[in-house]
A and B are shown apart, each in its own frame.
Chain A
Amino acid sequence: MCAVCGCGTSTLSAHDHGREHSHAHPHGGHDHDPMDYGAGPAGLHVPGQDQARTIRIERDILAKNAEYAASNRARLRRLGTLALNIVSSPGSGKTTLLVRTIAALGARWPISVIEGDQQTSHDAERIRATGVKAVQINTGRGCHLDAHMVGHAMDHLDLPQNGLLFIENVGNLVCPAAFDLGEAHKVVVLSTTEGEDKPLKYPDMFAASDLMLLTKSDLLPHLDFDVQACRQAALRVNPRIEILTLSARTGEGLGAFADWIFARAALLCDPE
């Protein structure tokens, strides 16, 4: 533990009282020169005794996740299966949307679902009630799915050829943006009860997504939600994002979402 502010090395212990605790605290990017003896190339004040060496690593922190994601993506490509990573804040209606979308797509092709939640298998049970295969991942304290979890879930699902895989991520507009799962597209769901400035407040998720579904459109007459402002906010963050408005409750716009899915799946069958 660094004696200066408690953030660093344990070689300089300002106090020792026999019980373990953490002194970690946020502070912005400063260093402690000249008081930080551990920062220099020699480090210790014993001439000739120090064997410190520097190892260059130069690795992306998300490299391990990227390896698993690449492996998932290769497996999905071999199967000819389109995988969509559905992301949103909690309560936007992802599971209801999936239940109704599965019904709208009918039995036209084999659908599988991976459900991510911190706890419970409620969502997987709701999906299974539609007759398609679903596996639940509980992340415990984790706030997102990662590619390693999804690879194992794919093992459990025994994915068929030329299928469609929905991955319903943990409800969270922040963390899942950073984790590639091997999907073909991230689809961000924003419900009309959430406020039209969400793309500006949580830009990473909207920047990472290829499609935004503006859901609960049946509530629009009762809300002050400005659809045009929402579209502009999303396009400002991501000029390439496609936007569909729909209601899982009334079915309005579900056909357009189904068509979008078919068009993306057709691209898989027709590699450039």
Chain B
Amino acid sequence: MHEVSLMENIIGLIEDQHRLSPFSRVRSIRLELGALGPAEPDCLRFCFDAVARGTVAEGALLDIAIIPAHARCAACRRITPVQDRFDACPLCGNMERLTVAGDELRLVELEVV
């Protein structure tokens, strides 16, 4: 359940922002999570209320956008969608592909009041 510590990092980034430009509370939090990213969206939602309690982010709406995964084939160099991390290139069958999108977990923006 490393989503708890990831959520603590998210709340930490929000608290950093609160020190930079004070606001009274956070209304919504927009995250981008890669389809192959380091967390399960349901687990992030599950632990959000507990981690955010007592912080400026308490009660905020958590909006998680899932970024589809894409990889570049090491052989044919073409970029194609990835369902599973270990799928072969659908165009040439080569196994070695470098993920170019879908690994991320990013705090994109906050709506604050």
Interface residues of A (CB under 8 A from B): 1-2, 7-11, 22-29, 31, 36, 38-39, 41, 43, 50-65, 141-144, 146, 174-175, 177-179, 200, 203-204, 207, 235-237, 239-240
Contact = CB atoms under 8 A, between A and B. Distances in A.
| SS of A interface (majority) | loop
A53 B86 CA distance: 42
A64 to B, nearest CB: 6
Contacts of A22: 49-50
Contacts of B17: 55, 57
A62 B12 CA distance: 11
Interface string B19-47: 00101000110010000101101110111
A61 B42 contact: no
Contact of B113 (A10, A26, A51): A51
A24 B49 contact: yes
Contacts of A64: 9, 12-13
A22 B38 CA distance: 24
A53 B22 CA distance: 12
Contacts of B68: none
A61 B41 CA distance: 14
B104 A7 contact: no
Contact of A61 (B13, B43, B66, B111): B13
B83 to A, nearest CB: 12
A25 B48 CA distance: 10
B108 A57 contact: yes
B38 A62 contact: yes
A31 B66 CA distance: 13
A28 B41 contact: yes
Contacts of A60: 104-106
A229 to B, nearest CB: 14
Contacts of B62: 7-8
Nearest to A178: B38
B112 A29 contact: no
A39 B106 CA distance: 20
Contact of B45 (A7, A57, A178, A200): A7
A11 B59 contact: yes
Of all A-B residue pairs in the complex, the 10 with the closest CB atoms, nearest first, are A10-B59, A26-B42, A178-B38, A175-B2, A8-B61, A239-B96, A61-B105, A237-B86, A24-B49, A22-B49
Given A26-B46, A58-B106, A64-B12, A52 B85 contact: no
B85 A2 contact: no
Contacts of B42: 26-28
Nearest to A51: B113
A90 to B, nearest CB: 15
A8 B108 CA distance: 18
A174 B110 CA distance: 29
